[in-house]
Amino acid sequence: MRKPMIAGNWKLHKTLDEACGLVSEIIPAVASNQDVEIVVAPVFTALSKVAEILSGSNIKLAAQNCYPEPQGAFTGEVSPLFLKDVGCHYVIIGHSERRQIFGETNDFINAKARALADAGLGTIFCIGETLEERESDQMFDVLRHQVRLGLKNLSTEQMSNVVIAYEPIWAIGTGVTASDEQAQEAHAFIRALVKELYNPKVADATRILYGGSVKPGNVDGLMTQPDVDGALVGGASLKAADFARIVNFEKV
Ligand code: PGA
């Protein structure tokens, strides 16, 4: 049985005070939920303080990015070693904003995936197609390419720390969500791909999250799909009540 995961990606939002306030509101709202793995990913500068507030709660901490080398002359970067040190359980990599705005390649993302595996940190590995790619029937090729290269050289054992997030780029921050059927179709394809690259056991155990305009109003339908194991939530994770409602989803 795959434990559902709901992860809030706060992106570049919430100052230190605001982050502490938000997480203090989320904690009681989700405290009774033991069925879902709950994760929040604040900005780097808030990680340490948020980690303190989360201590003893059922919410885990994630970072939004990392650099693949453990330490050295890499001005401005933060590595898995330092993120683990501050209390992170997970790190998001491969987000479309990093791919598109910062030009991150599949190879670079793979280096991060391997560094996280080496550090024993969980990875939330994002993939997804553009609208243009979907409309020109390239979606499956794009997803295959991203998964193959992004997870290259990760062992079967290391895959147990990897969560895949399918985030169609046309659905991120746009208010347009993939339909339940579109999400299920992509998730089933990704699971089949993991089976092909690894084995049926790994495919069955790997959680695949959906991301892209997930809200209280659409989470229940998405979570009812057999291959949707959770959500990576941007905008709606910035409001405690909305995020809590998503965490406390109900299958329809
Ligand atoms: P959104 O963002 O929920 O605001 O669409 C999702 C994401 O980018 O992870």
The verdict on whether 95 is a catalytic residue reads yes
pLDDT digits (tens, 9 = 90+) for 3-12: 999 999 999 9
pLDDT at 197: 98
**What does the alpha-carbon distance between residue 127 and residue 151 come to, in Å, rounded to a whole number?**
11
Q: Which residue's CA is minimally distant from atom 2 of ligand 1?
A: 234
Q: Which residue's CA is minimally distant from atom 9 of ligand 1?
A: 234
What contacts 141, CB < 8 A, 6 or more positions away? none
49 φ/ψ angles, rounded to the nearest 5 degrees: -70, -40
Question: Coil, strand, or helix at residue 230?
Answer: strand
Ligand 1 centroid distance, CA of 73 (Å): 32
**What does the alpha-carbon distance between residue 213 and residue 174 come to, in Å, rounded to a whole number?**
7
Ligand 1 centroid distance, CA of 206 (Å): 21
How many residues make up the chain in this entry? 252
User: pTM of this prediction?
Assistant: 0.98
pLDDT digits (tens, 9 = 90+) for 179-225: 999 999 999 999 999 999 999 999 999 999 999 999 999 999 999 99
